[in-house]
Amino acid sequence: MVVTDRPITIVGCGPGGPAYLTDAARHAVDQAELLIGANRLLALFPDAKGERIAVGADINAALQVMETRLGQTPMVVLVTGDPGLHSLASPVVCHFGRARCRIIPAVSSVQAAFAAAGLDWMDARILSAHGALPDIDTRELAPVGKIAILTGSSAALHWIGELAVRLAPRRILVCEDLTLPGERVTEVKADALIGLEASSRTVVLLVRPEVLEG
Ligand SMILES: C[S@@+](CC[C@H](N)C(=O)[O-])C[C@H]1O[C@@H](n2cnc3c(N)ncnc32)[C@H](O)[C@@H]1O
């Protein structure tokens, strides 16, 4: 199988700042005849010549659009951050098969969050509260020193606040709009997460105190 012959290329676009777009991503988009992605990802490539189809959060609708165009033209699907972490890439690969997909990796928002905190993430646990809240046994998380949670809604922040109380003591870093002009990293107490209005692009780090003090 020649990888470049695959009809679907899934391109990781990084956390949003244009400086975090890779040359590989730019090259794939430059070559694309058809670009599919959220409006704000399409906007990262103002000079791309290919046809553009904007898709929203409805994954089935996005897959349907791709289905109708498959075989007509090679297509590029844009995803936020790295394709391997809670992105449209998984349903696309699952639906169309690995043999039809090429994946271009990128910087994840989780990497950007740990970098902003000055921490490595080798032993981190990553959860997603983007969309649905995770169904997780808190006891499993108790020994974990670094937890990163993808979020973007008040309901998720509320859930994270309650989780932080159960896992106390934890230091809590709210990392919003990473790599973007409004980037903000704020340390808060657990009760401040309840009712907090944060960006729809937020990663919360729950870190055992000794990890940040080391
Ligand atoms: C559908 S997930 C995609 C994750 C992505 N694949 C990644 O590797 O970062 C969307 C979540 O990514 C996080 N995210 C994306 N961009 C971000 C940014 N610039 N700053 C903080 N969080 C971001 C937020 O938690 C958001 O709810």
Tell me the CATH number at 143: 3.30.950.10
- Are 129 and 191 within one domain? yes
Domain endpoint, select from 107, 134, 153: 107
CA separation (Å) from 178 to 80, 93, 155, 204?
A: 12, 27, 21, 12
Q: Residues 162, 163, 165, 170: is their CA dihedral positive or negative?
A: negative
For the residues 90-111, what does the mean pLDDT come to? 96
For the residues 18-35, what does the mean pLDDT come to? 96
For the residues 82-93, what does the mean pLDDT come to? 96
pLDDT above 60 for 52: yes
CA separation (Å) from 136 to 128, 159, 177?
A: 11, 12, 26
Query: What residue ranges line ligand 1, CB within 6 angstroms?
Result: 15-16, 79-82, 85-87, 108-110, 130, 150-152, 175, 177-180, 201-203
How far apart are the CA of 109 and the centre of ligand 1, in A?
5
- Are 199 and 141 within one domain? yes
Please name every residue paired with 30 in a beta bridge, in sequence order, or none if there are none. Answer: none
Domain endpoint, select from 80, 107, 134: 107
- Are 12 and 37 within one domain? yes
> With bands split at pLDDT 50, 70 and 90, how would you rate the model's confidence at 2?
very low
How confident is the model at residue 1, as a pLDDT?
A: 45
Instruction: Show the tokens assigned to 133.
Output: 């809240």
How far apart are the CA of 48 and the centre of ligand 1, in A?
23
For the residues 82-107, what does the mean pLDDT come to? 96
- Are 101 and 114 within one domain? no
For the residues 41-66, what does the mean pLDDT come to? 92
Between 194 and 113, name the one with better pLDDT: 113
3-state secondary structure of 206: strand
Domain endpoint, select from 107, 125, 145: 107
How far apart are the CA of 55 and the centre of ligand 1, in A?
17
- From the CA of 109, give the closest atom in ligand 1: 9
How confident is the model at residue 87, as a pLDDT?
A: 94
How far apart are the CA of 150 and the centre of ligand 1, in A?
6
For the residues 186-202, what does the mean pLDDT come to? 94
How confident is the model at residue 4, as a pLDDT?
A: 56
- Are 9 and 101 within one domain? yes
What CATH number is attached to the domain comprising 49?
Answer: 3.40.1010.10
- From the CA of 177, give the closest atom in ligand 1: 20
CB 149 within 8 A of CB 203: yes
- Are 116 and 207 within one domain? yes
Interatomic CA distance for residues 173 and 78, integer angstroms: 28
How confident is the model at residue 72, as a pLDDT?
A: 87
Pocket test residue of 11, 82, 109 for ligand 1, highest count of atoms within 8 A of CB: 109
> With bands split at pLDDT 50, 70 and 90, how would you rate the model's confidence at 5?
confident
- Are 98 and 156 within one domain? no
Residue of the CA atom closest to atom 11 of ligand 1: 150
Percent of the chain at pLDDT exceeding 90:
86
Its domain, for residue 65, covers 3-107
The angle, 0 to 180 degrees and rounded to 10, between the axes of the packed helices 89-96 and 59-69 is 50
* Residue carrying structure tokens 């005849």: 33
Interatomic CA distance for residues 128 and 151, integer angstroms: 7
* Number of structural domains in the chain: 2
**Average model confidence (pLDDT) across the chain:** 94
- Are 161 and 203 within one domain? yes
- Are 55 and 103 within one domain? yes
CB 160 within 8 A of CB 167: no
